[in-house]
Amino acid sequence: MQEMNKALTSVVQDVFAADVTLEVTRPDEQFGDYATNVALQLARRLGKPPREIAEQLATALREQLGDRVQEVAIAGPGFINLRLSDGALAVQAAAAPHTKPQTYAGQVVVTEYSDPSAFKVLHAGHLYTSIVGDAIANVVAAMGGEVHRVNFGGDVGLHVGKTMWAIMQELGGEHPDKLAEIPDGEHADWMARCYVKGEQAYSDSEDAKAEIIDTNKRVYQVHATDDHDSPFAQIYWTCRKWSYDYFDAFYARIGSHFEKYYPESVTMPVGVETVQEQLEKGVYEKSDGAIVFRGEPYGLHTRVFINSQGLPTYEAKDVGLIMMKWADYHFDRSIIITDNAQMQYMEVVLKSIEQFAPELAQRTTHVTHGRVKLAGGVKMSSRKGNIVRAVDVLDAAADANKKAGHDSEVSSLGAVKYAFIKSRIGADIVYDPEESVSLEGNSGPYLQYAHARARSVLAKAGKTGGELADLDEHERSLARKISEYPEVLEKAVQELMPHHICTYLYELAQSFNRFYENAQVVGDPREATRLTLVALYADILKDGLGMLGIAAPDRM
Partner RNA sequence: GCACCCGUAGCUCAGUUGGAUAGAGCGUCAGUUUGCGGUACUGAAGGUCAGAGGUUCGAAUCCUCUCGGGUGUACCA
Considering only residues 237 to 266 of the shown chain, the ones binding RNA according to CB under 7 A are 264
> Rule CB under 7 A: is residue 510 a binding residue for RNA?
yes
Query: Cβ of residue 293: shortest distance to RNA, in angstroms?
Result: 9
For the segment 440-469, give every residue that binds RNA (CB under 7 A).
440-442, 446, 449, 452-453, 455-457, 460
The phi, psi pair for 112, rounded to 5°, reads -120, 125
Smallest distance, RNA to C-beta of residue 63, A: 21
In whole angstroms, what is the distance from residue 489 CA to residue 23 CA? Answer: 17
Q: Which segments within 267-312 are labelled E, that is strand? A: 285-287, 290-293, 303-306
- Footprint on residues 314-333 left by RNA (CB under 7 A): 314-315
Question: Residue 386 CB, nearest distance to RNA (Å)?
Answer: 15
Q: Is 384 in the site for RNA (CB under 7 A)?
A: no
Considering the complex, what minimum distance in angstroms separates the CB of residue 346 from RNA?
9
Report the distance separating Cα 101 and Cα 493, nearest Å: 10
Does 289 engage in binding with RNA (CB under 7 A)?
A: yes
Minimum CB distance to RNA smaller for 301 or for 384? 301
Q: How far is the CB of 440 from RNA (least distance, A)?
A: 4
Q: Given the complex with RNA, which of 330 and 402 has the nearer CB atom?
A: 402
Question: Does position 365 bind RNA by CB under 7 A?
Answer: no
Closest separation between CB of residue 418 and RNA, Å?
11
Q: Is 117 in the site for RNA (CB under 7 A)?
A: yes
DSSP state of 153: E
Residues 6 or more apart whose CB falls under 8 angstroms from that of 356 comprise 278, 281, 283
* Distance, CA of 305 to CA of 302 (rounded, Å): 10
Q: How far is the CB of 35 from RNA (least distance, A)?
A: 3
Answer for which of 63, 229, 277, 428 binds RNA (CB under 7 A) is 428
User: Which residues 153-172 are close enough to bind RNA by CB under 7 A?
Assistant: 154, 156-159
Nearest alpha-carbon partner for 499 in 415, 445, 420 = 420
Closest by alpha carbon to 479, among 450, 508, 520?
A: 508
Q: Does 520 bind RNA (CB under 7 A)?
A: yes
19 binds RNA (CB under 7 A): no
Residues 6+ apart with CB under 8 A from 498: 132, 135, 136, 139, 421, 425, 492, 547, 548
Rule CB under 7 A: say whether 41 interacts with RNA: yes
Cβ-based neighbour number of residue 229 at 10 Å: 10
Q: What angle do CA 396, 121, 116 make, to 5 degrees?
A: 110
Contact track, RNA, 219-238, x by CB under 7 A: --------------------
Scan residues 174-193 and list those touching RNA (CB under 7 A).
none
Dihedral sign for Cα atoms in the order 88, 93, 98, 101 = positive
Is 393 a binder of RNA (CB under 7 A)?
no
Identity of the residue, 34 or 326, whose beta carbon is nearer to RNA in the bound complex = 34
> How far is Cα 437 from Cα 400, in angstroms, rounded to an integer?
7
Q: How far is the CB of 236 from RNA (least distance, A)?
A: 15
Q: What is the dihedral of CA 392, 337, 255, 507, to 10 degrees?
A: 90
Q: Does 28 bind RNA (CB under 7 A)?
A: yes
Element (H, E) at 75: strand 69-75
For the bound state, the minimum distance from the C-beta of residue 452 to RNA, rounded and expressed in Å, comes to 4
Which of 10, 203, 302, 464 is in the footprint of RNA by CB under 7 A?
A: 302
Stretch that binds RNA, among 104-112, 289-297, 352-360, 463-471 (CB under 7 A): 289-297
Nearer to RNA, 99 or 477 (CB): 477
- Rounded distance, CA 92 to CA 99, Å? 9
Three-class DSSP category at 26:
coil
393 neighbors 127 (Cβ within 8 angstroms): yes
* Shortest Cβ 108–RNA spacing (Å): 25
**DSSP character at residue 406:** -
The yes or no reply on residue 284 touching RNA (CB under 7 A) is no
Phi–psi pair at 149, nearest 5 degrees: -90, 120
By beta-carbon proximity to RNA, the closer residue of 12 and 147 is 12
